[in-house]
Amino acid sequence: MRKHLAISDVASGAGDRDLLFNQFLDDFLHECRPGMRALISGEPSPTGDESFDAKLAATAELLAHRHGVEVPEWVAKPRFFLDSPVYGAPMLCARDDIARDWFERNTTEEFAKRKLFLGPDLLSRR
């Protein structure tokens, strides 16, 4: 049986980050509450992609809120907050105020406060 992937493993892992991110989500959702806390407690190392780093922090905070576990302190560090907004559909949002407004209104607080406007279903595992 393999070890469950922690959020810090996503940042330090080799290979497809999106695949690792999705594997982390699956592992997190199959854990009991103490195990959930352990999977988000370790601070991810910088990936070189500020928006991805912010996404990891927002994900850890949102999962903690949704599942009633303690939010790790590392998610509040300044390096996990962006200076400029990032949108889920950047080409569309660059030219369409309505699309930009939709993303801003439909993004969870944990992502929006980091200027990551990615929409409502980012963590959906359908």
Check if the beta carbon of residue 57 is closer than 8 Å to that of residue 80: yes
Which tokens hold the place of 38?
């352990």
**Residue 125 confidence (pLDDT) above 70:** no
Tell me if 123 is assigned to some domain: no
Tell me if 110 is assigned to some domain: yes
Instruction: Write out the residue range of the structural domain in which residue 103 sits.
Output: 7-117
Instruction: Give the containing element (helix H, strand E) for 87.
Output: strand 86-87
Amino acid at 63: L
pTM above the 0.85 mark? yes
Please, which pLDDT band fits residue 88 given cuts at 50, 70 and 90? Answer: confident
Region 81-98 average pLDDT: 84
Tell me if 80 is assigned to some domain: yes
**Residue 50 confidence (pLDDT) above 60:** yes
| Number of folded domains that form the chain | 1
Q: What is the pLDDT of residues 8-47, one digit of tens each?
A: 999 987 778 889 999 999 999 988 888 999 999 999 999 9
**Residue 1 confidence (pLDDT) above 70:** no
Tell me if 122 is assigned to some domain: no
